[in-house]
Amino acid sequence: MGKEEVIDSYEGNYNIAADLPVREDFTWKTIESHFSWSDTGKVNMVYESVDRHVADGYGEKIALHYFGEAEEYTLTYRELKEKSDLWATVLKNKGVKKGDFVFVFLEKHPDCHIAMLAAIKLGAIVGPLFEAFMEDAVKERIADCEGTYLIASPELIKRVPREELPSLQTVWITGEPEQCNGDEISLYAEARATQAEEGITEWVDLNHGLNIHYTSGSTGRPKGIIHAHRAMIQQYITGRWVLDLKDDDVYWCTAHPGWVTGTVYGVFAPLLNRATIVIHGGRFDADEWYSVLEKAGVTVWYSAPTAYRMLMAKGDEKLTNYDLSKIRHILSVGEPLNPEVIRWGIKTLSRRIHDTWWMTETGAQLIVNLPTERIVPGSMGKPFPGVEAVILDEAGKELLPGKVGHLALKANWPAIMREVWKDPAKYETYFPFEGWYVSGDLATMDENGYIFFQGRSDDMINSSGERIGPFEVESKLMEHPAVAEVGVIGKPDAVRGEIVKAFIVLKSGYETSEALLQELRQFVRKGLAAHASPKEIEFMEELPKTPISGKILRRELKAKELEKVGV
Ligand code: WTA
């Protein structure tokens, strides 16, 4: 092996350096002293994220800065407290109480943040839904929880099949009464007619449910991962040390709260650290993004490799039209970060891009590149203080440096999932070896503790950092009258990491055609979500199957595909 490329850290006034004594004697317990509940015993994520800052005299600080298509505005911490109190009162008046599920189906917009905070204030478990979900995806999630409450926008409510969701009793629309249909309630009108209840915050236990995110694996339907309020311990300290958030930071996390990154590092971690959050609607667009970075004066930026690769592909000239000099810290998550992208960041923005690794199930970052440490391009970084990572073989034995195995973590960090909703057996599968959480990722570790991602041990697809279960896409395609058999895999892609590819055997009487191909893609796009729709479809005479059970061998399909692209 040649000499490892390393990139030294820049000079800077980093939180982790200032907190060095805490880091040296690190225990999660020590971090607890930051929270008001360590004195009062009264726990609620929203109190620590919002109300507390107002009580501490930071009410006039800007909490949210929204850049929409037609409008731009800010909300201070005081306004965020008042709004979330008010919306919590509206919710409570209709019966929302501790432990209830409240689904939130809203665009990237301050309303989404306020709705989530309002629900959590009441001790409810919030279920933010990704804004690109179509009917089936929405239905499946709400039905799985027998969800009673939903807050949706006038646009997104159109994708909620009410008639198929009998459990759903109360639906608030973030709009005016004339934008509501049937029994839908205008949240805006209701809020205007309501007086916020004093002391509405419901105090809960650290282990009380906080949020639910559905996530895909290689088999079965997406599973609901429930996190607890205790996650704030790790979400706060990773926000402080990894994101390096300070009081005067303007921070932009580009993920939607329907994904765990958008909730944990788009809502909780920045608010716990009293930063200003930038919210920008819509999907990726290079000019828009550069313009938001400039206009908002973003100082800390957290995004995904696909987005960085897309910006890179647009050419560096674009960048010269914008003043991005305020950006002082950049981070990445969700999929492997190519060394090339890190070099691009250094060349064009004079900043390193700091990779971070974690999962929906882990609830917060575990493997990170701290701002004070060297970066080894191609590596995801090293375990966060207090986190113990190892590479295990099939029998659970620790492997030596350089050997590929299962990335596993000592299961004792505060943000780890509390449960897999209604599926304790699934929860157990994450812990095949006493005390270790086994991630499903394959990795190597070098002598210095740097961890290198090598792939998944299962068939999960990761496209643009978004987790897609092949089973979900296959099930959708099977609903199409032309489809007899289908196998779905992730095919390597230079920009998106992987793309969804479907191999389809048609029923007799159907002919392969470009029109049918488009129709099948649309079928998934309309029914499930655009990101789950197969970018490629290959029609086959038959699919490889296991001899006895007749299960479709995705692995074989994938191996053939990898051969073709020369991986
Ligand atoms: C992958 C996202 C390589 C990994 C927070 C993991 C990564 C899955 C990285 C979790 C990274 C996440 N490098 N791969 N830095 N970060 N992954 O649940 O396969 O949407 O298991 O959580 O994304 O995806 P999830």
The mean predicted confidence, pLDDT, of the chain is 95
User: Cα Rg for the chain, rounded, in angstroms?
Assistant: 23
Could you tell me which residue, 566 or 443, shows the higher pLDDT? 443
Band of residue 564 on the pLDDT scale cut at 50, 70, 90 = confident
Distance from Cα 496 to the centre of ligand 1, integer Å = 13
Q: Give residue-wise pLDDT tens across range 111-120.
A: 999 999 999 9
Residues of the chain with CATH 3.30.300.30: 461-564
Which top CATH class is 461-564?
Answer: alpha beta
- Residues with Cβ within 6 A of ligand 1? 215, 259-261, 333-336, 355-360, 380, 439-441, 453, 456, 462, 467
Whole-angstrom distance, CA of residue 372 vs CA of residue 418: 32
Residues of the chain with CATH 3.40.50.12780: 15-443
Band of residue 567 on the pLDDT scale cut at 50, 70, 90 = low
Q: Give residue-wise pLDDT tens across range 267-300.
A: 999 999 999 999 998 778 899 999 999 999 999 9
Question: Mutate which of 384, 409, 441 to test ligand 1's pocket (most atoms within 8 Å of Cβ)?
Answer: 441
If you average pLDDT over residues 62-87, what whole number do you get? 97
Atom number, ligand 1, closest to the C-alpha of residue 358: 5
Residue with CA at minimum distance from ligand 1 atom 5: 359
Q: What is the pTM of this model?
A: 0.95
Please list, in sequence order, all residues whose beta carbon lies within 8 angstroms of the beta carbon of residue 432, skipping any fewer than 6 positions away. Answer: 396, 438
Specify the CATH number for 15-443; select among 3.40.50.12780, 3.40.605.10, 3.40.50.300, 3.90.550.10: 3.40.50.12780
Band of residue 3 on the pLDDT scale cut at 50, 70, 90 = low
Whole-angstrom distance, CA of residue 312 vs CA of residue 389: 32
Whole-angstrom distance, CA of residue 223 vs CA of residue 226: 10
Which residue in the block uniquely carries the two structure tokens 């929270």? 35
Question: In 3-state terms, what secondary structure has residue 501?
Answer: strand
In sequence order, what are the beta bridge partners of 382? 368
If you average pLDDT over residues 418-427, what whole number do you get? 97
Contact 491, 565 (CB under 8 A): yes
Count the neighbouring beta carbons within 10 Å of the beta carbon of residue 343: 16
Cα dihedral across residues 129, 134, 138, 141: positive or negative: negative
Give the alpha-carbon dihedral of 307, 469, 267, 109, to 10 degrees. Answer: 70
3-state SS of 337-380 is CCHHHHHHHHHHHCCCEEEEECCHHHCCCCEECCCCCCECCCCC
Band of residue 398 on the pLDDT scale cut at 50, 70, 90 = very high
If you average pLDDT over residues 399-410, what whole number do you get? 97
Say what the pLDDT of residue 1 is.
45
Distance from Cα 465 to the centre of ligand 1, integer Å = 7
Atom number, ligand 1, closest to the C-alpha of residue 361: 18
